[in-house]
């Protein structure tokens, strides 16, 4: 009788070990979010009307688009940016939650003049970055471009949708 109980116990124990095998975790791969050209934006030097830069833009207008922005993306090309268009003129604040690369954030008033800008916003930083003054538009570009273009408050912006 002891041999049967011991054999039964060993069989039962092995069955439990096999059934407790760790499940392999499924890796869900998502497609990367890619840039979609929706317009062209030009920045002019305020005093001389000379072009500082021209770039392809993606436009964020809906609540979802403005809340998501450039989150979950790996980066952009130098000649690309995202233009946020708000229905109101107000002090707007941005943060870098879930944004994987540094940005320059350019705040633009309702007359399409640069009102302020925040250089080199750090990836994943959840600190609010305020426009400080009421604005209607915000342009996000790769960090370092505001300095490269020698951007100043008062410079003019034009954009067109495609």
pLDDT above 70: residue 146: yes
Domain count, the chain: 1
Distance of alpha carbon 72 from alpha carbon 20, whole angstroms: 36
Q: What is the pLDDT of residues 86-108, one digit of tens each?
A: 999 999 999 999 999 999 999 99
Closest CA to 92 of 69, 74, 72: 69
Residue 19: inside a domain, yes or no? no
Q: What is the pLDDT of residues 16-36, one digit of tens each?
A: 555 555 556 677 777 788 899
> What's the mean pLDDT when you consider all of the chain?
89
Residue 1: inside a domain, yes or no? no
Residue 4: inside a domain, yes or no? no
Residue 8: inside a domain, yes or no? no
Give this prediction's pTM: 0.81
Backbone angles phi and psi of 11, in degrees to 5? -60, -45
Range of the domain at 146: 27-161
Report, as an integer, the average pLDDT of 45-70.
Answer: 93
Determine which helix (DSSP H) or strand (DSSP E) holds 4, and give its type and residue range.
Answer: helix 2-19
CATH number for the domain that contains residue 120: 2.60.120.1140
């Amino acid at each position: 009788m002891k041999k049967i109980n011991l054999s039964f116990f060993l069989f039962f124990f092995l069955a439990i070990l096999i059934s407790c095998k760790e499940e392999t975790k499924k890796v869900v791969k998502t497609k990367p979010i890619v840039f979609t050209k929706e317009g062209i934006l030009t920045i002019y030097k305020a005093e001389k009307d000379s072009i500082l830069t021209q770039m392809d833009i993606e436009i964020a207008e809906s609540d979802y688009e403005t809340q998501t922005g450039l989150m979950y993306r790996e980066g952009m090309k130098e000649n690309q940016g995202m233009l946020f268009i708000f229905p109101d003129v107000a002090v707007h604040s941005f943060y870098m939650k879930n944004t994987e690369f540094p940005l320059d954030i350019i705040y633009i008033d309702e007359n399409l003049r640069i009102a302020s800008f925040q250089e080199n916003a750090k990836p994943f930083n959840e600190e609010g970055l305020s426009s400080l003054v009421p604005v209607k538009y915000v342009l996000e570009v790769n960090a370092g471009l505001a300095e490269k273009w020698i951007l100043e408050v008062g410079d003019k912006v034009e954009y067109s949708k495609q």
